[in-house]
Structure 1
Amino acid sequence: MDIDTHRHFIERMHWDEVAQRIEAGAIAILPIGAAAKQHGFHLPLNTDRIQAEWLAGKIAERIDALIWPTLTYGHYPAFVEYAGSNTLSISTFEALIREIGGQILGGGCQKLLVLNTGISTLAPVDRALTRLDRTRIRHLWIHEGPRYPRVARQLAEQGHGSHADEMETSLMLAMAPHLVDMARAEASPIRNKETPGSLTPSDPDSPNYSRSGSYGDPTRATAAKGEALLAAMLEDLHEQAAAFAAQGGHQPAAMHSVTR
């Protein structure tokens, strides 16, 4: 990852080190990224977790933040027909976010960034955070703009997509190419260009049918596209994180150059 993981990921630190960093004003980051969610034939089930931790590491390096362990279970109802894919109910997921976020803030951290890699998790996270002090929390979605959506539109060759597709596969080719099996990448049928409901591998007559589990055309993915997408995504995330860190007079202990 190219990150000093022992300075940023609290699971690799001792509790007194964490206490000292909190006392010094370190911002907390809570990544959300599934580890049991199908991503086609060509990407592993922990694709979202890989992205969440990679991006959290880059943000933490820039603002010298502390990263809490990734929430690897969430509300992902669209994938449950595929082996190994798990989902929590909305109420359980919201309670999980609310309790963990509340404990992080209650434990002394003055600010919390919730870094979200999902789509179906966006609304539940927002609802959960309304129960906490929103002046101290920023909910970041990794696909928020303005740069990333613009670059994605410029690069996209697929006619539709949103999951294990050309864009996500390109990102993984840039982040973790050794985990991508492009020989097994398979496009989904073009039957429903709108955002689908639950995907199915078992009903060929369904508009949401996808034998592989991808929604889009991952065969069009390239590492070059991934590098461009990742650069735009990091600029967007760094800008938002830095603005949040600066609110209320907080100044990060160290600032570092952006690396990819």
Structure 2
Amino acid sequence: MERYLSFLLIFIAWTAAAQIRNPANKAIYLEDISWTKARELLTPNAVVVIPLGAGSKEHGPHLPLATDYQQAEGYAKEIALQRNVLIAPIVSYGFYPAFLKYPGSTSINFETATATVVQIVRSLASYGPRRFYIVNIGVSTTPTLLMAAKTLADEGILLYYSRYDRQGFVQAEQPFRTRAYSGHADELESSNLLNLRPDLVDMSKAVNDSSMKGKSGGITPVMVAGGNLNTSGINGYAALATKEKGRKGMAAFAKELIREIDSVSTCTLPKAIDRTALYESYIGTYVDKAGTELVISQKGNRLFFLWNKIDTSNFFHLYQDAPDYFSSMNLNVLFVRNDLGQVTKAWCQFRGASFWVTKSN
């Protein structure tokens, strides 16, 4: 009997794993395929969808810390059923500073959050795709995505993302709000989780909390100078949530996501900025105190580097992230100009080490 039960549990676990993806899916999840299959699919015509949802951020006493993650995953499943896109793994860390007084909540700083998205997109774009869409389950993430989109547009890459205050999404959610006021871990989010993972929801702890109405900034479960006291972590009418509202609301929201993805697949791509003339001032050989050389060269619209005579041009090139500042997977460089505007030296970070180099030619 014990052996039978063990076999049954293994079979159930195997069956559950085998049913993770819906066989009716039109989309392909990158995490499910090999690199050789990815090589076939990551073409210039492909649209890559990247779900973005916090894996650990407070959502009141009744919802799990992974509420945003669960919603990002749920919307990705809806998209997968309806569109032939590539779906990247969920990005579960981002810029969520307002919730850090609630234990378990995580955030990365603005620059890191922006760079994370930029580097993920750049990595995938290097194989062919130029069109990317982020399912954005967040509000504070929006400015980081705006900055990422601007950076990538200069490189000829289109990045678009959902945002809750865009009219189409406001209209999609409106019929399922009992009260006009809402914001976080509220009626809609609670309904979404009841639809997706009712086993993770404890509605006996859901309360209606409007203590943040008319306020902005960070919230805190205990009184802290400069913070807004919110003992529940809820901003809205969570107790009004139902599974049916979640089912219908998510379907309406997903419909708008798909409409935007369709527009991404057909709209004109941004034109990459021609930086050939601008980059000429950086080209040359730079030397550190030990005599080790950093050689900066240009090919097309890109800068490449050789450090200590090691040629990595077939693997890494330098991306411009700010005026006179460039980064790659190994090297970060801030070029410094003299009073005449000429580049004379550079501050570098290479695999954790920081040093100055002086331009010799």
TM-score relative to the length of structure 1: 0.85
CA distance in 2, matches of 1:31, 1:171: 16
* 2:203 alignment partner in structure 1: 182
1:3 corresponds to 2:22: yes
Q: State the shift of 1:60 in Å.
A: 3.3
1:54 corresponds to 2:65: no
Structure 2 residues without counterparts, runs of 5 or longer: 1-19, 270-361
Q: State the shift of 1:91 in Å.
A: 1.1
Q: Please give the secondary structure, in 2, of the residue aligned with 1:242.
A: helix
Kindly tell me: are residues 146 and 129 of structure 1, through their superposed partners in 2, closer, same or farther at Cα, counting changes over 3 Å? closer
CA distance in 1, matches of 2:241, 2:224: 25
Q: What do residues 53-89 of structure 1 show as CA deviations (whole Å, max 9, x unaligned)?
A: 2212322332211111111111001100111101111
Structure 1 residues without counterparts, runs of 5 or longer: 250-260
Q: Please give the secondary structure, in 1, of the residue aligned with 2:219.
A: coil
Kindly tell me: are residues 247 and 3 of structure 1, through their superposed partners in 2, closer, same or farther at Cα, counting changes over 3 Å? farther
Q: State the shift of 1:28 in Å.
A: 1.0
Q: 2:207·2:239 contact (CA, 8 Å) conserved in 1?
A: yes
> Which gives a bigger RCO, structure 1 or 2 (Cα 8 Å, sep 6+)?
1
Q: State the shift of 1:148 in Å.
A: 3.8
Using the aligned pairs only, state the percent identity. 29
Q: Please give the secondary structure, in 1, of the residue aligned with 2:51.
A: strand
CA distance in 2, matches of 1:49, 1:144: 20
Q: Please give the secondary structure, in 1, of the residue aligned with 2:71.
A: helix
* 1:41 alignment partner in structure 2: 61
Q: 2:30·2:88 contact (CA, 8 Å) conserved in 1?
A: yes
Q: 1:8·1:57 contact (CA, 8 Å) conserved in 2?
A: no
The 10-residue stretch of structure 1 (193-202 or 115-124) with the greater mean CA deviation from structure 2: 193-202
Alignment coverage as a number of residue pairs: 248
The 10-residue stretch of structure 1 (15-24 or 199-208) with the greater mean CA deviation from structure 2: 199-208
Q: 2:29·2:89 contact (CA, 8 Å) conserved in 1?
A: yes
Q: State the shift of 1:101 in Å.
A: 1.3
Kindly tell me: are residues 39 and 7 of structure 1, through their superposed partners in 2, closer, same or farther at Cα, counting changes over 3 Å? same
Q: Find the structure with the greater CA-based Rg.
A: 2
Letter in 2 for 1:22: L
From 170, 192, 217, the counterpart of 2:191: 170
Kindly tell me: are residues 158 and 205 of structure 1, through their superposed partners in 2, closer, same or farther at Cα, counting changes over 3 Å? farther
The 10-residue stretch of structure 1 (50-59 or 117-126) with the greater mean CA deviation from structure 2: 50-59
* 2:109 alignment partner in structure 1: 89
